[in-house]
């Protein structure tokens, strides 16, 4: 019995280490954001539609909103675009866009052709703002509450299923959302 004890203990330890490793890393491409539960980074950026206007974190206080990082160069963003239009049409929650490292002309052209789901769009031409939000790919969507706290982050294109299963549960019930706006 004694001679099996040490190998067994070592084996058990290895099992525990691997179990933790597997449990802690469900998907390597989905890195959890440390910003959840924190305030949004303060920002004040030019608006895509009217560069003389600005879109700022201050203006957005007091309302629930989705903060969607996108770019016309991003194929997955084009994939989620119909779903964003759907969400905007349903009036569930306003969508604020962050046009990331994009050309203004192409972005405007794209929205004209495909439809514009955004209430406002901030422009991050050089990519400085995206880093402050911990963005590492597009699309990424943050759910922000009226206090300006990030309550959830969805990485990847929003599919109808992701909207219902992942994002909607983090938003208040419909009547509260409309009362706030």
Partner 1 sequence: MRARLSARVLLPVLLFLAPAALAIAPTRMPTPQLEVRYERLIHGFRCMQCQDESLADSPVSLAADMRRQIRHMLIAGDSDQQIRHFFVSRYGYFILFKPPFVARTAWLWLAPGALLIIGAISAILVIRRRAMLVKSDEEEPVEDTPRGERS
Site for partner 1 in 77-106 (CB under 8 A): 101
Q: What are phi and psi of 83, to 5 degrees?
A: -70, -40
Using CB under 8 A, which of 15, 19, 32, 59 touches partner 1? 32
Stretches 77-85, 128-136, 140-148, 168-176: which one binds partner 1 (CB under 8 A)?
128-136
DSSP letter assigned to residue 47: B
CB 166 within 8 A of CB 154: yes
Which tokens hold the place of 9?
């203990």
* Interaction of residue 130 with partner 1, rule CB under 8 A: yes
Q: How far is the CB of 22 from partner 1 (least distance, A)?
A: 15
21/179 with CB nearer partner 1: 21
CA separation for the pair 13, 17 (Å, rounded): 6
Q: How far is the CB of 54 from partner 1 (least distance, A)?
A: 21
* Interaction of residue 15 with partner 1, rule CB under 8 A: no
Cβ-based neighbour number of residue 55 at 10 Å: 24
CB 158 within 8 A of CB 139: yes
Under the rule (CB under 8 A), what is the footprint of partner 1? 6, 9-10, 13, 17, 20, 28-29, 31-35, 101, 126-128, 130-134, 136-137
């Amino acid at each position: 019995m004694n001679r099996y004890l040490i190998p067994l203990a070592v084996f058990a330890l290895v099992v525990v280490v691997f179990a933790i490793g597997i449990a802690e890393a469900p998907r390597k491409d989905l890195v959890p954001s440390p910003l959840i539960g924190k305030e949004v980074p303060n920002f004040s950026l030019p608006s895509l539609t009217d560069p003389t206007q600005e879109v700022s974190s201050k203006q957005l206080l007091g309302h629930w909103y989705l903060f969607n990082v996108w770019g016309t160069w991003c194929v997955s963003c084009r994939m989620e675009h119909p779903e964003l239009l759907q969400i905007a049409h349903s009036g569930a929650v306003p969508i604020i866009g962050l046009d990331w490292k994009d050309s203004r002309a192409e972005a405007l052209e794209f929205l004209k052709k495909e439809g514009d789901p955004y209430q406002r769009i901030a422009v991050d031409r050089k990519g400085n703002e995206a880093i402050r939000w911990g963005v590492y790919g597009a699309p990424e969507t943050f759910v922000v509450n009226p206090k300006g706290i990030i309550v959830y982050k969805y990485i990847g294109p929003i599919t109808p299923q992701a909207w219902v299963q992942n994002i909607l549960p983090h938003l208040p019930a419909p009547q509260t959302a409309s009362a706030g706006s």
